[in-house]
Amino acid sequence: MTDWLHIYRNTDDDTLAALGSTGLVRRAAKDVEAGKVAWETAPRLLRADGQLVRIDAGGPARASCDCPAPGVCKHILAAVIWLRNAAPEPGASNMTNAADGADSGPLAVAPPAGTSADAGASAANDPTAASAGDSAIDALSRLLAEVTALEPAAVFKTAGLAATRKAAALHAAEYPVTLSATAGTLLITLPSLDITCRYIGGAGFAGMVSEAPAASRAAVHVLALAAVWRQQGRAIAWPAPSRSAAAAALDDDAGLSADEQLFIERLRALVLAAFEDGWSHVSEIVPAQLRALATSARVESFPRLAGMLRTLAGTASLLVERDAGADERQAIRLATRIYALTHALEPARGDLLRELRGRERRSFDGNQALELLPLGAHWWEQRGGARGLSIAFWNPAAQGVMQAVLARRDHADRHFNRELAWSTASLWQGAGAAATLAGGALTLEQARVSDDLRLGLSMETRASVQPPWRANDERWTSAGYDDWNILADALRASAGLRGETLDCVLLRPARCDTPRLDEARQTFDWTVRDSSGAALALQLPCDPVHHQRIGNLEDWVANGAPIRAVLARYERSLQGGRLEPLTLIIETAGVLRAVSLDYEGAPASAARSAPLLQRLARLFGARPAAATAADIPAESIETATHAGWIGAMQQLLENQAMSGRLHVPGADRQRLVALRACLRASGVELLADALARYLDQPDTERGIALLYLCLTCAELGG
C-alpha cells in the first residue's frame, strides 16, 4: 500500500460527519454507489460527480475540490469514501509514482476488499494501517504510541505560535481526557470544551478532524494532543508566553481585540437570527452552531459565555428533536442573557471586562490541605443530557460551600446512574462513596481547588476520615446564613451580568414550619425562620423528578429530629428565582449528620410518605393550568403588583419570541400600553421608558432588551 493511502482507510463515517455533516456523508455515499467517483489521469486527482478532487498525505481535512462550495464538500467526502472502500491492485507500480507526485497515469483500483486476507496484506505493508483483525485495545495502543511519538516542537510549528499559546493557556485547566479508538482513528474527548478531536492514523497533526470552528481548530487540536502527552507522562516545552500578566491586564484595559470583536458580532448575529425565526421553530443547524461558538468562546477567553452557550445548545437540541422536556422559555431567557452579555462586553474595559469574561471554569491550584464537613449530595440531570451527583462540603477556612462533582456528558457512559454514583463511585483515595460520608468529617491532602470552590477528583488527592463535628463546634457555629436579610443581600449581589453565580447556600434556621403542598401552584412549600422570626420560603416543584425529595423532606420534618441547617440551591429559572432544599444537617446525640433528600428517608417513614406521593402523582398527572401574571386581564392590570406587571410583560414578550414575532406587538399592544401606564404611575421609570421605546419602534433588538430588563428586575425581587 502506498505511504498515504492508508490514511483514507483509517477514516470512518463519524470522522467524515465531523468534517461535513451526516446528511452530506449520506449523499456522498450515494454518489459512490452510483459509480460517480474514479481516478483522473493526473496524479492525486479524482473525479467525483464531475468535480476534480485533489488528495494527498494530509488526509481528508487537507483535500480540496474545484466546486464553489466552501469547506469540505460532498465531492471530497465521496472521494474519501471511495478510497476507503476500494483496494489498489497489489504491486501496481504507478501507485508509488502518484504518491511521489510523478506525472503518471491513473492508479489502478480493484473492487472493494472483502476478505481479511486483503486487509492483513495491507497491514503488513504499512504498520500504521488498520487491519480487520485489530481489536479496540490494539488500535488504541497503536494510535497512542503514534501520538506520543510526535514531536511537540514540530506540532507547534505547524499550528502556529498564536494557536499554540492559546492551547497552552487552556492546558492547565484541562481535565484528564477520555480516549477511545476505532480501527484507524484515535478519539480524544476534551471535557473542558465538550468536544471530540479525531486523530487519523498516519495523517499527523495536520490531518486531525473535529467540529471546532475554523478559527479555533488549530488551538483545539494542539490542546488535544498536549492532553494526551501529559496523560502518557511526556514532558511538554511550551513556547514562552507572549505577554506577562501585567501586559494581559493592559490589553483588557484597552478593550476587546479585533478577533474578539468579530467573535462577539458572529455570536450576536446567530442569537438575533434565532429570535427572528422563533424559538418554537429552531433550525436543526442552530445547536451545532451554538456548540461551535461555545468552543470559540472558551478558546478566546470568554469562559462565562462558553458555559452559557453550551447550556443553550443542549436546550436547542431538545427543541429541534421536539423532546417532551424541551422548554422554549428556558432557551429564550438564556439567549436573552447571552445577547445582553455581548452588548456589555463590547465597550467594557479593565476590571469590568475581566468580570464580564468570567473566571476560567477550572483553575486548580493544587497542594492544599483541607478540613471539610460533608453536607450531603444531590442528583441532577440537564436538558442537554448531562447528569451527575454533586457532593457538598462546608469549608471553614474559606467560609463557603465547596462541591465535588461526579458527572457524565450527554449520552456518555450509559452504566452511570444515580444509584451507582451515590453508593459505589469513590471520590478520592481513602474516602468511600458519597453514601458513606454523611456521619463524619474529612481531611484532604493535595486537594485541587478551583477559584469557584470546586473540588477536583484527582487521583493524587488523599482523604482521611475524621470524627464528626459536634453541634457546638466553633467551626460550625459561624457557618452559613442565619440572618435572611444578609442572605437577601448576597442573592441580589449575584444577579445581573457582573454578579458571581451563587449556586448553593447553607441556611441555619432557628425554627422550621411544617411543609405544605400548594396544589394550585403545583409546589411543595417549606418556610424556615431565622433568629428574629423572619420567614424564608423554600420550594420544590411537584414534578416526578422531585417526588422522592419531597417525600423525604416531609418525613424528616415530621420525624422531629433537630434540623440544624439546610443546604439549598438557588434556582433562577423562574421569576425572581427560588431556593430548593437539597440536604438537611440534623443533630443526633450532639453530633452533626448530613441527610441527602434525594436518597435518605427518615426512619419508619414509609407509611407517612405514601399518601403524599400518591397525591403528587395524581396532581402531576392532571397538570392543572397554574395562574400566571400573564393571565391578568387588561382591565384588571391596575390592581396588580409590581411583580405582576413585570411577570405579565415578560411572558407576553416570551410568547412573541416563541413565534418569531418579537418585532410585532400585535394583539398584545393594548396590554403593553396599560402596563406602561401602571409602571410609570408607580415610579418604575426605567422599565416604563424601555417599554415606550419598544412600542414606538418595535423591533427584535428592543424586544430582547426589554425582556432582559424584566428578567433582571425579577431577579432583584421586582
Per residue in 591-644, pLDDT (tens digit) is 999 999 999 887 765 555 566 666 666 655 544 344 344 444 444 444 456 667
Is 402 a member of any domain?
no
Is 403 a member of any domain?
no
548 versus 506: which is more confidently predicted? 506
Is 611 a member of any domain?
yes
Edge to edge, the sheet with strand 64-65 lists 37-39, 45-48, 51-54, 64-65
Give CA–CA dist 174/190, Å, rounded.
7
pLDDT at 181 over 60: yes
pLDDT at 39 over 90: no
Task: Taking residues 139-156, report their average pLDDT.
Answer: 92
Which pLDDT value is given to residue 81? 92
| Band of residue 62 on the pLDDT scale cut at 50, 70, 90 | confident
Count of domains in the chain? 6
CA angle, 371 as apex, 369 and 374 as ends, to 5°?
130
| Band of residue 79 on the pLDDT scale cut at 50, 70, 90 | very high
Average pLDDT value for the chain = 80
Bridge partners, residue 45, by sequence = 54
Residues 188 and 226: beta-carbon distance below 8 Å: no
Is 398 a member of any domain?
no
Task: Taking residues 687-703, report their average pLDDT.
Answer: 90
Nearest to 393 by CA among 461, 450, 445, 443: 443
Task: Taking residues 553-559, report their average pLDDT.
Answer: 89
Of the candidates 556, 588, 622, which is a domain's last residue? 622
Residues 349 and 462 in one domain: no
Residues 188 and 320 in one domain: no
522 versus 161: which is more confidently predicted? 161
Residues 483 and 562 in one domain: yes
Residue with cell 395524581: 618
Is 55 a member of any domain?
yes
Kind and range of the H or E element at 699?
none
Residues 23 and 125 in one domain: yes
Nearest to 155 by CA among 228, 198, 215, 218: 218
Neighbour tally for 435: CB within 10 Å:
16
Nearest to 522 by CA among 494, 503, 542, 538: 542
Which pLDDT value is given to residue 122? 39
Set of cell numbers at residue 296: 470559540
Give CA–CA dist 496/519, Å, rounded.
32
pLDDT at 567 over 90: yes
Q: For residues 66-95, b (16+ Cβ closer than 10 Å) or e, as one string?
A: ebeeeebbbbbbbbbbbbbbbbbeeeeebb
Which pLDDT value is given to residue 306? 87
**pTM to 2 decimals?**
0.66
Residues 209 and 224 in one domain: yes
| Band of residue 278 on the pLDDT scale cut at 50, 70, 90 | very high
Set of cell numbers at residue 562: 433537630
| Band of residue 103 on the pLDDT scale cut at 50, 70, 90 | very low
Which pLDDT value is given to residue 367? 54
Of the candidates 68, 96, 130, which is a domain's last residue? 130
Is 399 a member of any domain?
no
Q: Which of 366-375, 512-521, 544-553 has the lowest mean pLDDT?
A: 366-375
Residues 618 and 633 in one domain: no
Q: Which of 116-130, 425-439, 459-473 has the lowest mean pLDDT?
A: 116-130
Residues 507 and 603 in one domain: yes
Bridge partners, residue 444, by sequence = 370, 463
Of the candidates 87, 110, 130, which is a domain's last residue? 130
Residues 617 and 633 in one domain: no
Which pLDDT value is given to residue 133? 45
Give CA–CA dist 422/597, Å, rounded.
12
Residues 82 and 26 in one domain: yes
| Band of residue 430 on the pLDDT scale cut at 50, 70, 90 | confident
Nearest to 402 by CA among 450, 473, 460, 342: 450
> SS3 of 714, please?
helix
Residues 481 and 617 in one domain: yes
For β-strands 86-88 and 64-65, DSSP reports them as unpaired
Instruction: Please write the tens of the pLDDT for every residue from 307-356.
Output: 889 889 888 888 888 766 677 888 999 999 999 999 999 999 988 888 88
Give CA–CA dist 197/189, Å, rounded.
6
Is 303 a member of any domain?
yes
Residues 576 and 647 in one domain: no
pLDDT at 478 over 50: yes
Residues 162 and 117 in one domain: no
- Domain extent, residue 676, equals 629-715
Is 658 a member of any domain?
yes
Which pLDDT value is given to residue 383? 62
Give CA–CA dist 267/290, Å, rounded.
8
Which pLDDT value is given to residue 546? 85
| Band of residue 91 on the pLDDT scale cut at 50, 70, 90 | very low
